[in-house]
Amino acid sequence: MSDAKKNLGEVTSESRREHSERAPSVEDDSEGHLIYKEGDVLQARYEIVRTLGEGTFGKVVEVKDLQKDNEVAALKIIKNVEKYREAAKLEINVLEFMHSKDPEGTFLCVKFFDYFDYHGHMCLSFQMLGISIFDFMKENCYLPYTLSQVRHIGYQLCYAVKFMHDNNMTHTDLKPENVLFVNSEYDIKYNAKKKRDERTIKCSDIRLIDFGSTTFDHEHHSTIVSTRHYRAPEVILELGWSQPCDVWSIGCILFELYTGFTLFQTHDNREHLAMMERILGSLPYRMTKKTKKQKYFYHGQLDWNEKSEPGRYVKNNCKPLGRYMVCDSDGDMNLFNLIERMLEYDPTSRITLKEALEHPFFSTLPDSQKLPMESKNEDRERSHSLSR
């Protein structure tokens, strides 16, 4: 699958040698990023074309693979920092496992090609994709996607994550930034009423990326996972989590694609829970009594002052879920029914992705966009995170 000739253990020892013998021309900046320029060639193979993005982990660059007729790829260059190197090795294990289960990328997870160590920087090469569904929306003045686009993107996202769930994995960091268009070319039209150009994506095919936080069922489960806005209540309440926490995140993503804004725009646990109650109704007593986070509750009820400044903010900025519907067409109502079932508080009652793909919202998907439904381990026993 990959052209890497060493296993991860060998790469690690080789990495220490390379690091101590690194060429004088190889330098890092103060944060541990590799210093490079356009035209540099890594591993006598990957010629750097341009920088695509940057994160806490490192940078992603567009490269030409000189061993494959200058085929374009995306190369993730990890910082020369021990904790990021170790995290990259965990991600490589996940990517290689996923490739063994789906070598052709049928299940819409980004194709992983290769990895190597470059003077202390773990480097991972992937298929080249377009921009994220978040960046497209941001560059388009946060204009929501059309209902048919929400349907197609949502269907593909459920399909990709279901593949992970069927193979005993939880992604744990689903968010619009981690869903990329295969090709982000667009048509443009001037909106005279709003006096602006508006973009429409030409093809809504997507791929799922970033498996750095993916957790196998048998592995240790960190207490807190997911980016704040997409974090499930069982995670906030530290009740244990499994695959259903991904379903919650997808519900939040569908809402965001439909409206153009984040459902839970907060950075505070108590306020987050208050927003949930304002939008979805009261948290179940069973969950509030079982949580270790009793400081947020009084006699099983959320301890929240609606007359405080944060209380007024939540009241003014949040409303019951159904009131966000733009119109009451069958499609809109089906979408909101699906979102509501994905945002079920109790993870044991939350809709599964197998059930989600059979939901009426996706029944009007054109045949050309439908995907084969078989997947290995589909009938795996359902996890119940509250019984952990």
Q: In sequence order, which residues have a C-beta less than 8 Å from that of residue 126 and are 6 or more positions away?
A: 73, 74, 75, 76, 110, 111, 112, 113, 209
Residue 87: both structure tokens together: 């995290």
pLDDT in tens, 300-313: 999 999 999 999 99
Whether 65 sits among the annotated catalytic residues: the reply is no
The residues near 355 (Cβ < 8 Å, ≥ 6 apart) are none
Bridge partners of 42, per DSSP, are: 46
Mean pLDDT for 61-78 is: 97
Cα 339 off chain centre by: 17
- Choose the catalytic residue: 117, 173, 246, 332: 173
CATH homologous superfamily for 30-127? Phosphorylase Kinase; domain 1 (3.30.200.20)
| 136-183: pLDDT as tens digits | 999 999 999 999 999 999 999 999 999 999 999 999 999 999 999 999
Q: What pLDDT shows up at residue 384? A: 43
- Residue 55 pLDDT grade (very low, low, confident, very high; cuts 50, 70, 90): confident
How many Cα neighbours within 13 Å face the side chain of 300? 8
pLDDT band for position 373 (50/70/90)? confident
Strands of the chain, DSSP E: 41-42, 46-54, 58-65, 71-78, 112-118, 121-127, 169-170, 179-181, 186-191, 196-201, 206-208, 215-216, 297-298, 301-302
Residues forming beta bridges with residue 77, ordered by sequence position: 59, 123
C-beta pairs of 6-10 under 8 Å, 24+ apart in sequence: 8/89, 8/92, 8/93
Euclidean distance between CA atoms 157 and 178, whole angstroms: 10
Assess whether pLDDT exceeds 90 at residue 49: yes
Average pLDDT over residues 186-190: 96
pLDDT greater than 70 at residue 382: no
Q: Which CATH number fits domain 131-369: 3.20.130.10, 1.10.510.10, 3.30.360.10, 3.30.950.10?
A: 1.10.510.10
The average pLDDT across 80-101 equals: 96
To the nearest whole number, what is the mean pLDDT of the chain? Answer: 92
What are the residue boundaries of the structural domains of the chain, listed by start?
Answer: 30-127, 131-369
Which residues partner with 123 through β-bridges?
77, 116
Whole-structure pTM value: 0.90
Q: Is the pLDDT of residue 285 over 50?
A: yes
Q: Confirm or deny that 289 is annotated as ligand binding.
A: no
